[in-house]
Structure 1
Amino acid sequence: MGELEALNRTLFLLINAGDDTPHWMIQLAIGIAAGLIYLLPVLLLGFWLWGSPGERRLMLKATLITVIALLANQLIWAIWPHPRPFMMGLGHTWMLHAPDSSFPSDHMTVFGCIGLTLLLDGLSGWGVVILLTGLSVAWARVFLGVHFPLDMVGAMVVSFLVYAGFSPVWKRIGLPVTHLVQRCYRSLMAVPIRAGWLRG
């Protein structure tokens, strides 16, 4: 663990923005680090409201995998809390963040879960786009000093393990769960569905 931690810190210091970093680059990184994640619920919602039955089922699977992975992160934090770089006085910090455990990254976990699910379950183009976007978010959060590189690697490992573990379960429960959620959705959104604004 000592050598791995040393590598983690070395990689962090190579990526982390220094005092001579241009202001525009810091602002761009803040936008990437804090803003791009909000595109994911918009994407999931869009596929649910206007997508095919198969796409709806996939969006629901991606959402559940993400929730399970985020709960797994909470367990990891409780068992093995790891300080963020600024909590150790390491490097430079360019955005505000709560002084909580850094490993694994929640942001990268969300991108990893949704990206892997779409990539491996039929929407590979969207999956690649989401994973590449997640990579840019991972870079930005290390660049700004709120995460270590291995926080991002750990997030991808958690994402893949949860995907691999949940997929066999989803094969058995996916269809009835999707039908149940669709019935609730159609009841709540009956008016716009009848008007043709949303897919029924």
Structure 2
Amino acid sequence: MAAAPGARIDHLVTSGTFRLDGGSWDVDNNVWIVGDDAEALVIDAAHDATAIAEALGGRTLRAIVCTHAHNDHVDAAPALSELTGAPILLHPDDLPLWKMTHPDRAPDGELADGQIVTVAGVQLTVLHTPGHAPGAVCLYAPELGTVFTGDTLFQGGPGATGRSFSDHPTIVRSIKERLLTLPLETEVRTGHGDSTTVGAEIPHV
């Protein structure tokens, strides 16, 4: 199935601080916007709600989708929701992490494995890929030849698993069963750093 006319992926990088287990690190995050000239969804509202809203350029924001709830991926989500009226969607297994950053503001809806999120005629399938975080998800858009992997899979291999709520054998299983089974040419758009492909990452997992 071909993507709807005008459907595209926009990208911006925002900068801020990742905090967990008493440590803090300066990080640059990828924010992905999928849509057309009329509507869009945001994958991971990181750090700067104003910059993300400007990148939308007046389009209707249908949803703010969180690949997981580490603070650097969700810190700007409530503010972006306030600016746009868009609901925040998160897998419920990541609520403990979410509450560390936003104890007084719950997400608006849940993500579930196999769920389809549609925007601008493009279908994105939610793949539950725990390991980096319990409720980590990836979003597979076959019409765009792309999977958005958050911090589950990077150029060079799996995301980090050395902190609370993470587990290395679990992330490796998620990647092998849910991501490396996708077409090898599928572009992997990550939460940090450069994009890669499914085929290029097989030797690194």
Query: TM-score, length-normalised on structure 1?
Result: 0.23
With a CA cutoff of 8 Å and minimum separation of 6, indicate the structure with the bigger relative contact order. 1
Structure with the largest fraction of helix: 1
Structure with the largest fraction of strand: 2
Query: TM-score, length-normalised on structure 2?
Result: 0.23
